[in-house]
A and B are shown apart, each in its own frame.
Chain A
Amino acid sequence: MIDSTSPLLEVRDLAVSFDVRGGRVNAVDGVSLSIRPGETLGVVGESGSGKSVMAYSLVGLLAGNGRIDRGQIRFDGRDLRDDRHAMARVRGRGIAFIFQNPRAALNPIRSIGDQVRDALEASGRSSRKDSARRALELLEQVRIERAQDRLRAFPHELSGGMCQRVLIAMALAAEPKLLIADEPTTGLDVTTQKVIMDTLYELSASHGLATLLITHDVGLAARYCRRIAVMCEGKVVETGPTAEVLERSRVPYTQRLVAATPRVGRALIELLPPCERGAFKAPHGEKSPSAPTSEGFPLLDVQGLSKTFRINPSVGFLTKGLRKLRGTNTVESVATTHDAVRGVSFALKRGSRLGIVGESGSGKTTLSRMLARLLDQSEGQIEFDGQDIGAVPSSVFSRSTVRHRIQVVFQDPLGSLNPRFNAYEAILNPLRRSEPSLSRETQRARVVDAARLAGLDRLLLSRFPHQLSGGQQARVGIARALVVKPDLLILDEPTSALDVSIQAVVLNQLDLLRRELGLTYILVSHDLNVIRLMCDSVLVMRSGQVIESSDVETIFRSPAHAYTRELIDAVPHLPAQVTEKAQ
């Protein structure tokens, strides 16, 4: 059935450019690749490498200012590029697409059953009569439980992972020959990612479906693709069987990308290319310096910390007043509550490195916001260096002397910077609040010093956030936290928005700081590989509770809780032999 000789999709010398102010920008510059029927090809590359644009151009979904400059796209023996009608016929039928943000790709006001039926009827694969039955079958195929009930559900009633399955069902509706998946699991939890990718993998095997998987995650591509193409700056720098590309690449870019991906058995410093390691080397070549000092009381002592959010039904104050007057106030009984964090206790010694890991909704960010006194706890105590800071409401904590001893590095490097402050002003702001009486020269010296510590070139200090790259923005965020000389740093997913090569540098910078300044930090992350490299001990959170806490090696070697094991298994690692050979 599958003809393995002639390719299903063949792209030759494809170039795409965008019309921007002051000229044209080449996003894709001479890409050639081919996919045989039933094959899974992974396209990996960092942001801006042109991988998504390439995929969109294949099916004619470029933005209005984009155009294909040259090249050939042949699908199933037909030329798509020159024949617009062929492209329209193929789109959604021969080639199906699944998108990065599944919820945004679904119509919010139609039930998912109707949307799958729309896809079925639009493709002409089933009539109005039997589309309902087929829709149910498809939802069952993508492993949606209680599919019969879910037919009537709306996208906002389903989780992100569920929505992505609905999209896969819609893509399968037309019985396509090729499925293009653009970062299908980015933004989903690792366990959800595993289930989705396993489903996709099995479906493509059972349907003889070819898949083009676009991803920034080398580990994910390694696990699910037999062949991969590496893209960089609009070009495919390397194509070949996965193992060969990852293990024996001669292309420097691929080597860098593979090396920068955190995985088992590699030290933090090894994420960097050898030429960049010098700046981050430990002074005496020791591997794990200055074990946490055990004497004295802990820097941070947390007892029974809980946060309960009240979900109030939307009742206006007039209604409330009227009900009160009439004596029919039922508001209290209607209000529901949600326990975001339940009874978390731990102690943190000076100089130690704690990781908090968990999936979305596990309460890890709520916990870190309470520790940083940005959110009031419902119950429990937080003692910092002997002071009961949990007793100070977060709204007046800005006046506390402890405010500057606990600093936060936020998740979104760009979003956490005020667009109207340049880097200098952004770093200066907390310093002016903590020590308002400093002279201008001292302020300047402190800001420049913090920038140096964070690895931010001082020439960049006059730039505004949008003029900085993602890695530079992250460094501004780190410098801003360091400028007030904190004792405790809370890092909330500090690198999740960054490309792996930049992540490698930022993580090494953080580690260098810890060694130089004796910082204590709490690293919140969903990425177990990062936690493993950066922390001594780990709290594993699920549904607001700490289900396991131990030192990092124990957690990874012999996890006590089934959920921890599931989390560890779900992380797509590069295959072990790559670990040894890549270099």
Chain B
Amino acid sequence: MAAGIVSLSFADRAGHAAHVLARNPVSAAAFLFIPALVLLAALAPWIVPYDPNATDLDHVLQGPAAPHWFGTDQVGRDVLSRVLIAARLDLAIAFSAVILSFLAGTFVGGAAAFFGGVTDRVVGRATDVLMTFPLFVVAMAMVAALGNSIQSIVVASAVVNLPFFVRLARSEVSVLRSQQFVEAARAGGNSNLQILFGFMIPNALPTLTVQVSTGLGWAVLNAASLSFIGLGIRPPTAEWGIMVAEGAANILSGFWWLAIFPGAALTLTVLCFNLLGDGLRDVIDVRTRR
């Protein structure tokens, strides 16, 4: 179909997803890893072997070995426990930020394309202006201005992600606007808002889902980067960015496990969110169907 609108039933879609993933084991791995990670993060307080913030000065800087699989840090905290607990915080920040920018971006971008005219121009130029700044610098400035808190990291990540959702929603809705079923909806007595929310946005959702996945990766990285440079979350909170920052100082002294494990968790998470996005794109895009 010209606009490539996706219209598949659940069973159809599941069958196709299995087909795509079978041909693409890397995506399949990401599809398995992300739910596992979310589950681990959710259950972290009950499954961690040690209290992540409990210091144990008898066992400082121990290498990865039996009781402490990921080793201990300079005050004897268990790195494995801290990595798991940190996943909670980083994922929570990422999910809240992306949900915010997804909701706001879809509405703003969808409305801009649907109503056109001045609305569209104002939204379009505002998005352009936002994108002319280096986005990480914008995020830094916002956290610095709003104060060091988890909320300000969430808001900053949401704002930085916003232009991508606005643009995507805008382009999706402008394609859908010329579809005949929109005209049919109008003839059926639907008002503008009913058409936007009942007909346009639901049809743009599959494409936006892909952006959500990629956006989650960015948001995790963003949160970790901000705390790495000392903005937002403060030690001793367990957070990947902080852990990497603290561990980085010790790498040259041979205590590599302090930075490597949280760093690897961060890398793997971002990579998997991106791969998940690619996989979802293949599942959703009818053009790859056979």
The complex places the Cα of A441 from the Cα of B290 at a distance, in Å, of: 41
Structural contact, B8 and A415, CB atoms closer than 8 A:
no
Residues of A within 8 A of B121 (CB): 316-317
Structural contact, B183 and A416, CB atoms closer than 8 A:
yes
Q: Which of B9, B183, B203 has the most CB of A within 10 A?
A: B183
Structural contact, A21 and B180, CB atoms closer than 8 A:
no
Structural contact, A415 and B180, CB atoms closer than 8 A:
yes
Q: Which of B9, B185, B188 has the most CB of A within 10 A?
A: B188
Structural contact, B184 and A404, CB atoms closer than 8 A:
no
Q: Which of A395, A466, A467, A480 has the most CB of B within 10 A?
A: A466
Structural contact, B180 and A372, CB atoms closer than 8 A:
no
The complex places the Cα of A141 from the Cα of B10 at a distance, in Å, of: 55
**Is B149 close to A, CB under 8 A?**
no
Contact of A398 among B7, B191, B199, B290 (CB under 8 A): B191
In the complex with contacts A20-B290, A410-B180, A464-B9, A418-B189 CB distance below 8 A: no
**Is A13 close to B, CB under 8 A?**
no
Give the dominant DSSP class at A's interface: mixed
The segment from A184-192, A304-312, A426-434 found at the interface with B is A426-434
In the complex with contacts A21-B19, A374-B187, A398-B189, A65-B6 CB distance below 8 A: no
Residues of B within 8 A of A155 (CB): none
In the complex with contacts A21-B290, A418-B199, A420-B202, A398-B180 CB distance below 8 A: no
B233 CB, nearest partner CB in chain A, Å: 40
The complex places the Cα of A429 from the Cα of B185 at a distance, in Å, of: 8
**Is B234 close to A, CB under 8 A?**
no
**Is A96 close to B, CB under 8 A?**
no
Residues of A within 8 A of B192 (CB): 395
Residues of A within 8 A of B1 (CB): 414-415
In the complex with contacts A464-B9, A466-B8, A418-B181 CB distance below 8 A: yes
**Is A19 close to B, CB under 8 A?**
yes
A317 CB, nearest partner CB in chain B, Å: 6
Binary contact track B235-256/A, C-beta < 8 Å → 1, others 0 = 0000000000000000000000
Structural contact, B16 and A430, CB atoms closer than 8 A:
no
A61 CB, nearest partner CB in chain B, Å: 18
Structural contact, A410 and B186, CB atoms closer than 8 A:
no
**Is A366 close to B, CB under 8 A?**
no
**B window 121-139: CB within 8 A of A:** 121
A360 CB, nearest partner CB in chain B, Å: 16
Residues of A within 8 A of B198 (CB): 429
Residues of A within 8 A of B7 (CB): 419-420, 464-466
Structural contact, B16 and A21, CB atoms closer than 8 A:
yes
**CB-CB nearest in chain A for B125:** A318
**Is A162 close to B, CB under 8 A?**
no
Contact of B184 among A65, A398, A416, A484 (CB under 8 A): A416
In the complex with contacts A19-B290, A21-B15, A416-B188 CB distance below 8 A: no
Residues of B within 8 A of A65 (CB): 290
Binary contact track B193-219/A, C-beta < 8 Å → 1, others 0 = 010001100110000000000000000
**Is A125 close to B, CB under 8 A?**
no
Q: Which of A374, A403, A404, A420 has the most CB of B within 10 A?
A: A420
**Is B53 close to A, CB under 8 A?**
no
Residues of A within 8 A of B16 (CB): 21
A544 CB, nearest partner CB in chain B, Å: 20
B18 CB, nearest partner CB in chain A, Å: 9
**CB-CB nearest in chain B for A431:** B188
**CB-CB nearest in chain A for B186:** A374
Residues of A within 8 A of B199 (CB): 418
Structural contact, B188 and A429, CB atoms closer than 8 A:
yes
In the complex with contacts A403-B189, A430-B188, A419-B180 CB distance below 8 A: no
Structural contact, B183 and A433, CB atoms closer than 8 A:
no
**CB-CB nearest in chain A for B121:** A317
Structural contact, B202 and A410, CB atoms closer than 8 A:
no
**Is A565 close to B, CB under 8 A?**
no
Residues of B within 8 A of A403 (CB): 189
The complex places the Cα of A417 from the Cα of B5 at a distance, in Å, of: 11
Binary contact track A386-420/B, C-beta < 8 Å → 1, others 0 = 00000000110011000110011011101111111
Structural contact, A467 and B189, CB atoms closer than 8 A:
no
Residues of B within 8 A of A466 (CB): 7-8
The complex places the Cα of A403 from the Cα of B188 at a distance, in Å, of: 8
Residues of A within 8 A of B180 (CB): 410-412, 415-416
Structural contact, A480 and B185, CB atoms closer than 8 A:
no
In the complex with contacts A415-B179, A420-B7, A21-B289 CB distance below 8 A: yes
**Is B55 close to A, CB under 8 A?**
no
Residues of B within 8 A of A410 (CB): 180, 183-184
The complex places the Cα of A317 from the Cα of B198 at a distance, in Å, of: 31
Which residues of B are in contact with A by a Cβ distance under 8 Å?
Answer: 1, 5-9, 15-16, 19, 118, 121, 179-181, 183-192, 194, 198-199, 202-203, 289-290
Which residues of A are in contact with B by a Cβ distance under 8 Å?
Answer: 19-22, 65, 316-317, 369, 372, 374, 394-395, 398-399, 403-404, 407-408, 410-412, 414-420, 429-430, 433-434, 464-467, 477, 480-481, 484
7 contacts between A and B (CB under 8 A): A404-B189, A410-B180, A417-B184, A418-B181, A464-B8, A464-B9, A484-B189
What are the 5 tightest A-B residue pairs by CB atom distance, in nearest-first order?
A419-B7, A430-B188, A433-B189, A416-B180, A415-B180
Given A316-B121, A408-B187, 6 new contacts (CB under 8 A):
A374-B183, A414-B1, A416-B180, A420-B7, A466-B7, A480-B188
